[in-house]
Amino acid sequence: MQTSRREMLSILAAAGGAAGLSGPAFGLLSTDPVLAAFEAAAASDPWTLGMADAPAGGRDAVAERLQGRLPSGLSGVLHRNGPARFTRNDWRYRHWFDGDGMVHAWRLTPGEPVTHHARFVETRKWLAEEDAGRFLMPTFGSVPPNSQGMRGPDDMNAANTSVMMIDGALMALWEGGSAWELDPDTLESRGAKVWGEGLSGLPFSAHPKTDPDGTIWNFGQAPMQDALVIWHIGADGQLRRADLVGDVPGGMIHDFAVTDRSLVFLVGNLMWDRARLPYLDSFVWDDSRAMRVVAIDKADWSQRRVWDLPPGFLFHIGGAWEEADGTIRVDAALSDNARFATEGARDAMRGHVRPETDSTSRMRLITLRPGGRFEQAEFADSYAEFPQIDPRYTGLERRFTWHVG
Ligand SMILES: [Fe+2]
């Protein structure tokens, strides 16, 4: 489906889903119960440090202690990103995914101490809320007191989900709006990345894939339109093509896979229903329908194959590859529910962990055969998330996936 830039922009206007809505006005608040619960948990549970607020401003430190030994010849910079500011004005976000992104750089140089530098991504949201001393915008899972209406998704862009180098620029990635460009040395923000005319603010997911030839594929989701924006970027960081592909059901999609021929989307059963605040509440669990898999032809985005699998939900995919007869093999951390998204990541803001909501995904290898047939095999009967593959094998047959257990 070819789409004009004007239509793309109309998608963008709706892509916030809740654009135009604003939160209810609150009167004077007594103690925020979520903040109080978190502080109580933090007093006794060191694990909660991972959900605590990081101090603002850039930070430089030299590692005082290094356990083990760095492999010889290992040198470079490890960048990471994650939510790190959850509280302002004594009010705490309700969902882990809401925290403002902080990008870290660990510099590894043989024979020298490891150094760490971190800095919040200075999104428009971050800058405005630093100024105001309170949260101003509804976010993915929260509606702060007296929050404002949004004009578009970048108003709530927390740039907190992952990080990627593209042709020498560091991108702090979210999924509902723009990539945020940073200076890779200083971690200072340069601003929202605009890939081309008319493409400002379109959703750009946090999990782009780099083909062996260096070109980059990504997607952004417009679930209320049952549509995806597909991005194809050259190894030189220049946009090759962006376009809208319709008729992909609006189940929340966080990650995807590529093969040498296809872009593969697994549409989980947390489905777009209607615009509500917070944005997460616009989705409802619906296991009366299949979990649709859509494979889009990289060479012709109008060509696709589909499979209907039993209902399920996922955040992350290991990878995929495709065989001569068109069979696709894809592995993912699959769950039969979305309770981590809807409950577990909310409990975490209170400092609570519940294995029954937080640890339900398992690694599964799905074989998608021609004609809509498929088979599934579960690897191991233990919790799995954050599958990773050797990036040199992106889209290619491989033997290994690494994951958190
Ligand atoms: Fe992710």
- Tell how far the Cα of 161 is from the centroid of ligand 1, in angstroms: 6
Q: Please, are residues 166 and 238 in contact by the beta-carbon 8 Å criterion? A: no
**pLDDT the model gives residue 13:** 47
Known binding-site residues for Fe cation equal 207, 254, 316
- Tell how far the Cα of 207 is from the centroid of ligand 1, in angstroms: 7
Q: Please, are residues 334 and 314 in contact by the beta-carbon 8 Å criterion? A: yes
Q: State percent of the chain over pLDDT 70.
A: 92
Least confident window among 12-26, 105-119, 320-334, 356-370: 12-26
pLDDT class of 282 with cuts at 50, 70, 90: very high
- Say which residue, 196 or 22, is predicted with more confidence: 196
Q: Please, are residues 280 and 305 in contact by the beta-carbon 8 Å criterion? A: no
393 - beta bridge partners?
none
Residue with tokens 């999104």: 123
- Tell how far the Cα of 361 is from the centroid of ligand 1, in angstroms: 14
Q: State percent of the chain over pLDDT 90.
A: 81
- Tell how far the Cα of 360 is from the centroid of ligand 1, in angstroms: 16
- Tell how far the Cα of 160 is from the centroid of ligand 1, in angstroms: 10
- Tell how far the Cα of 173 is from the centroid of ligand 1, in angstroms: 10
- Tell how far the Cα of 345 is from the centroid of ligand 1, in angstroms: 13
- Tell how far the Cα of 274 is from the centroid of ligand 1, in angstroms: 24
- Tell how far the Cα of 174 is from the centroid of ligand 1, in angstroms: 9
Least confident window among 5-14, 185-194, 229-238: 5-14
Query: In the numeric block, which tokens belong to residue 16?
Result: 């916030």
Per-residue pLDDT reduced to its tens digit, 46-96: 989 989 999 876 667 887 787 888 888 899 999 999 999 999 999 999 999
pLDDT class of 15 with cuts at 50, 70, 90: very low
What would the mean pLDDT of 224-253 be, rounded to a whole number? Answer: 97
Known binding-site residues equal 207, 254, 316
Average pLDDT, the chain: 91
pLDDT class of 11 with cuts at 50, 70, 90: very low
What would the mean pLDDT of 161-183 be, rounded to a whole number? Answer: 97
Q: Is the pLDDT of residue 133 over 90?
A: yes
pLDDT class of 179 with cuts at 50, 70, 90: very high
Strand segments, DSSP code E, in 86-195 are 87-88, 91-92, 100-108, 115-120, 162-166, 169-173, 180-182, 189-192
**pLDDT the model gives residue 69:** 82
HSE-up (13 A, CA, CB side) for residue 370: 4
**pLDDT the model gives residue 3:** 47
What would the mean pLDDT of 215-239 be, rounded to a whole number? Answer: 97
- Tell how far the Cα of 289 is from the centroid of ligand 1, in angstroms: 24
What would the mean pLDDT of 21-39 be, rounded to a whole number? Answer: 75
| Residue boundaries of the structural domains of the chain | 14-200, 248-405
- Tell how far the Cα of 217 is from the centroid of ligand 1, in angstroms: 16
Q: Is the pLDDT of residue 40 over 70?
A: yes
Per-residue pLDDT reduced to its tens digit, 299-358: 999 999 999 999 999 999 999 999 999 999 999 999 999 999 999 999 999 999 887 777
**Burial of residue 187, with CB atoms counted within 10 A of its CB: 0-12 exposed, 13-18 middle, 19 or more buried:** buried
116 - beta bridge partners?
61, 106
180 - beta bridge partners?
172, 192
